[in-house]
Amino acid sequence: MLFGKECRRILTSLTFIIYCFVVGLFFVSQFIDENKGDPYIPDEKISEDHDIIIDSAVDCLANEYLANNYICYPLGFYKSVRLKEDDSQKVEECLLEITGLTHDELMDIRDSGEHYYVEHGIQETMYYEIGELPVSDTITYERFCELMGQVDDILGGGSKYKVDDLVANYSYVPMTQEDREAIISDLYDKDRVVGGYARLFSDYVGIDLGIMPVFVAAALVSADRRKRVSDLIYTRKISSLKLIFTRYTALVTMMFIPVILCMISADIHLIRYFDFNDLALYKMFTLPTFWLLPQLMIVTAAAMIVTEVFSSGIAILFQFAWWFYSIMADGARLSGSISKFDLVCRHNTVFGREEFMLSKNDFIFNRIFYFIAAIVITAITAYIYELKRGGRFHGIRLFGKNSIFRHKA
């Protein structure tokens, strides 16, 4: 059977062996080694209280505005932004609308307080001690989010005012003893322990699955060209749709096997540290499969189509860029904000069920979207393969007709 043969071909490929090794290594070094004993309980929690969010955000914005120094993390790395006069003016308008102050009132507040210096790099920035600013009575949370979005756009993204992150940035409140007890009981009652660890597991393994499959898939797809058997395969009876889907299924199946083995190991690991009766072991299979399989599928599908159209090198470059962006775009935030189109969904904590549930709908949309997208992309790949087979398409050469890239599969 073709499926079996493709699986065997993948099994013996060097890229797949390395893939298995990396998945295993990351699982052991991140999940197993870091989770021995009681899990770490954070000191703060998200409150989701709109008043708290608006209060904290507006103070932060006012501070940065008056100093004209905005600290951004566009891809997780430090970047300080200074705005020109007209952009600064726009930010001020937003600030005034939220606070309900006039320009003069704001300047009075600025001048009445002391100022102090903060070192950013080698630069000392003057900040004003302005205390807490008022919030306009007429401002709604929706309008506030809209204004924050405008500010984030003016700053070029990655600022502290990114709408999706407002809740996570500004609604943290210290945990009380009751809160602590509540999240522990959530872990035991709602998550049956394994659920919490399953999210952490998915978080870690998801990082690998955002990039590693591209190598296995690109190597398999480009092997035909590299070993010059494309024409031999083109002339076989099998339909393009069947061939591509068989290869695709074989790739996804084979690459998911090490993940399943890790799930089993994770369960065994938990049995060692927790009372067996507290554990719902099946949760280590259900959530991570829903979390990781669509991701594996989309990465594999993208790798296949880009390799068919361009080359394996471009596929790797593309996937690296997508993965890097996805990992870094949320900056230092490792949990609490899964958005609709994140490739790698992060939730780097055992607790925080509630936090996770906040983005539950987006998360479900995200995974179903990628699941369907992967299948559609694979179907398109089959169509492209069919075109190549019929000599109607020869792949795209970057930089025009005389480009050099096509042969580099």
Partner 1 sequence: MVSGCLAKIVFSDTRHNYLLHYLAALGVVLLTPVIFGVSRLDERLAAQPLEFFLPLMGAILMPAVFMPEQNESIRDVVRSKKTPYPGVCFMRLLCGAVFITVLTGAFVLYMKSMDSVVTMRLFAGSLASTFALGAAGFFASAVSDNVIVGYMTAVIYYICNFGLKDKLGVFFLFSMTTGSFDEKKWLCILSVVLIAAGFVLRRLFRER
Partner 2 sequence: MEKKIVIKNVSKFYGRKQALFDIDLTIGQGMFGLLGRNGAGKTTLMKTLAALHRKKGGEITVCGVPIEKAKEIRAMTGYLPQDFSMYPSMKADEALDYLGALSGIPKAERKKRVTSLLRKVNLIEHRHKKVRELSGGMKRRLGIAQALIHDPTVLIVDEPTAGLDPEERIRFRNLLCEVAEERIVILSTHIVGDIEATCENIAIMDEGKILWKGTVEQLIENARGHIFTSNVEKRFMPQIKKEYIVTGMLSQNDYTTVRIVSDSEPDLPNTVLTEPDLEGAYMYCLHSSGCDVRGGEE
Residues that bind partner 1 (CB under 8 A): 14-15, 18, 22, 26, 29-30, 74-75, 77-80, 120-123, 207-208, 211-212, 215, 218-219, 222, 226, 228, 312-313, 316-317, 320, 328, 398-399, 404-405, 408
Residue 316 contact partner, candidates partner 2, partner 1, none, CB within 5 to 8 A by sort of partner: partner 1
Q: Please report how close the Cβ of residue 308 comes to partner 2 at its closest, in angstroms.
A: 18
Which residue, 325 or 405, is less far from partner 2 as judged by CB? 405
Site string for partner 2, 374-403 (x = CB under 8 A): ----------------------------xx
**407 touches partner 2 (CB under 8 A):** yes
- Amino acid in position 238: I
Bridge partners for 119 per DSSP: 124
242 binds, among partner 2, partner 1, none (CB under 5 to 8 A by kind): none
Distant-in-sequence, close-in-space partners of 41: CB < 8 Å, separation ≥ 6: 175, 180, 183, 184, 351
Residue 332 or 404 having the CB closest to partner 2: 404
Is 211 or 302 the residue whose CB approaches partner 1 more closely?
A: 211
Residue with tokens 């090198």: 313
CB of 105 to partner 1, least distance (A): 31
DSSP 186: I
Q: Residue 121 Cβ, how far from partner 1 at the closest point, in Å?
A: 4
Q: Measured between alpha carbons, how far is residue 75 from residues 79, 98, 207, 346 in Å?
A: 9, 28, 16, 15
135 makes contact, choosing from partner 2, partner 1, none, with CB < 5 to 8 Å by partner type, with none
- DSSP codes joined into one string, 251-316: HHHHHHHHHHHHHHHHHHHHHHHS-GGG--TTHHHHHHHHHHHHHHHHHHHHHHHHHHHS-HHHHH
Give me Rg for the CA atoms of the chain. Answer: 26
The nearest distance, CB 237 to partner 2, in angstroms, is: 24
Q: In sequence order, what are the residues at sequence separation of 6 or more whose Cβ sits closer than 8 angstroms to the Cβ of residue 397?
A: 403, 404, 405, 406
Phi, psi (5° rounding) for residue 46? -85, 135
Q: How far is the CB of 70 from partner 1 (least distance, A)?
A: 11
* CA distances in angstroms from 12 to 22, 219, 406, listed in the order given: 16, 12, 26
In terms of CB distance, is 58 or 207 closer to partner 1?
207
Taking the mean position of all CA atoms in its chain, how far away is CA 161?
18
Least gap, CB of 18 to partner 1 (angstroms): 6
Question: What is the C-alpha to C-alpha distance for residues 356 and 344, in angstroms, rounded to an integer?
Answer: 14
Give the count of residues interacting with partner 2 (CB under 8 A): 4
Of the two residues 122 and 404, which places its CB atom closer to partner 2 in the complex?
Answer: 404
In the complex, least distance from residue 131 CB atom to partner 1, rounded to whole angstroms: 28
User: Which partner in partner 1, partner 2, none is near 402 (CB below 5 to 8 A by kind)?
Assistant: partner 2
Q: By the criterion CB under 8 A, which residues form the site for partner 2?
A: 402-404, 407
